């Protein structure tokens, strides 16, 4: 008998959490939605706490893949990429990221129906998600610095982690400064504040 893919179980967990919240969802609810029994859930993913953590990471991977696709790659320096605007790329990356987080169906629903558990997941238990986001940000920063001819990369991992935490803060407290409520305000902030740090100039 073929094992049920973990991805399908986590997709079912995501849908269950969107429908009922984390606290009101049991392993049996997730198993029914995934079309498996509870023993399979425990064998393939683990306890409910482990399912919740894995679901957040799985959703973060999905969101980051969508962000990566939306912003595209950083080109190699050369005549073929003469029109590439590194600061505008940073602004697009920042804007797409914040918008994707704020519009994420799972996060919006969970913040409405299960705010305490969701806030704990986005703060106290968010280390794995922040690490994932930092990895993508660090890769893009290295490529951007190479494009603009900046060979200093010793600070990139720290910067990437800082920017992941900035995104986390903007998601959780959107009404505090800087109040980035429109795409134009996000792009302006990114060009003025974020891009100089990313590009190192």
Query: In the structure, what pLDDT confidence band is assigned to residue 12 with cuts at 50, 70 and 90?
Result: very high
Instruction: With beta carbons less than 8 A apart as the criterion, state whether 102 and 6 touch.
Output: no
Domain ranges of the chain: 53-199
DSSP assignment string, 128-197: HHHHHHHHHHHHHHHHHHHHHT----TTHHHHHHHHHHHHHHHHH-TTSSS---SHHHHHHHIIIIIHHH
Signed CA dihedral, 125, 39, 59, 111: sign only: negative
Span of 41-50, 70-79, 104-113, 183-192 with lowest mean pLDDT: 104-113
Distance from C-alpha of 54 to C-alpha of 115, rounded to nearest angstrom: 19
Mean pLDDT across the chain: 92
> How does DSSP classify residue 25?
-
The architecture (CATH level 2) of 53-199 comes to: Orthogonal Bundle (1.10)
DSSP assignment string, 30-87: HHHHHTS-HHHHHHHT-SHHHHHHHHHHHHHHHHHHHHHHHH-PPPPSSGGGTT--HH
Neighbours of 59 (CB within 10 A): 20
The residue-averaged pLDDT of 43-69 equals: 93
- Predicted local confidence at residue 201, as pLDDT: 66
Residue 3 has pLDDT above 70, yes or no: no
Query: In the structure, what pLDDT confidence band is assigned to residue 106 with cuts at 50, 70 and 90?
Result: confident
| Proportion of the chain above pLDDT 90, given as a percent | 77
Residue 162 has pLDDT above 70, yes or no: yes
């Amino acid at each position: 008998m073929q094992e049920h893919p973990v991805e399908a179980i986590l997709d079912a967990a995501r849908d269950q959490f969107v429908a009922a919240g984390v606290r009101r969802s049991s392993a049996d609810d997730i198993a029914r939605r995934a079309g498996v029994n509870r023993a399979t859930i425990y064998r393939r993913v683990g306890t409910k706490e482990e399912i919740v953590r894995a679901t957040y990471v799985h959703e973060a991977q999905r969101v980051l893949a969508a962000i990566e696709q939306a912003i595209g790659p950083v080109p190699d320096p050369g005549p073929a990429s003469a029109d590439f605007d590194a600061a505008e790329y940073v602004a697009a990356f920042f804007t797409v990221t914040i918008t994707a987080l704020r519009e994420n169906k799972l996060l919006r629903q969970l913040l409405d129906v299960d705010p305490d558990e969701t806030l704990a997941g986005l703060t106290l238990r968010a280390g794995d998600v922040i690490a994932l986001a930092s990895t993508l940000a660090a890769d893009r920063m290295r490529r951007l610095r190479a494009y603009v001819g900046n060979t200093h990369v010793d600070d990139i991992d720290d910067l990437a982690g800082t920017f992941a935490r900035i995104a986390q803060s903007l998601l959780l407290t959107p009404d505090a400064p800087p109040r980035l409520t429109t795409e134009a305000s996000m792009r302006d902030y990114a060009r003025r504040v974020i891009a100089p740090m990313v590009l190192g100039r």
